[in-house]
Amino acid sequence: MPSRKTNQHRVIRIGNINSRPGTKTSGYLNVADKAASSIALPVTIVQGQSSGPTLVVIAGEHGCEYCGIMAAVRLIASITPEKIKGTLIVVPLANPPAFEERTLFVNPIDAVNLYASYPGSLAGTVSHIMAHEIFSQIAKKADFLVHLHGGDYNEALVPF
């Protein structure tokens, strides 16, 4: 995969979210439609003033993995453009339907595991469409990608 280090001095677009060097921008990416509403993911883009790699952090692919979701929220709160070189893109909640319904491992709309659906497909069920949008609009921008998992609703969280 070619390095994207030269991309930091231009606008980064994810859906209708536009970010420029030296800014921290948040918004929502519409990833799928339901019968009476759409599914939108919160996205934050932090661009440093200096060029560098792009790190994408995705949490909440499983709706009850609260530790990863909270870690992503704290990461967003703690990072400013002055602290980084390159770009940080954070999706703190990638599967809102599972989070809203407190569903283990799968999207309650189609019983599909979003994390196992990448790179997704526009011809699939809602989870496949969501995976396609996350992959094509966010993950493809990454030089490095981190998925935050662990401690789903029925799993033990053991300190070590």
**pLDDT at residue 1 above 50?**
no
On whether the pTM is more than 0.85, the answer is yes
122-148 mean pLDDT: 97
Domains of the chain, first to last: 5-148 (3.40.630.10)
> For the chain, first and last CA: distance in Å?
36
Each residue's pLDDT tens digit, 83-100? 999 999 999 999 999 999
**pLDDT at residue 155 above 80?**
no
Cβ-contact 42, 73 below 8 angstroms: no
Q: What's the CA gap between 140 and 118, in Å, rounded?
A: 12
150-to-77, 97, 158 alpha-carbon distances in Å:
21, 18, 11
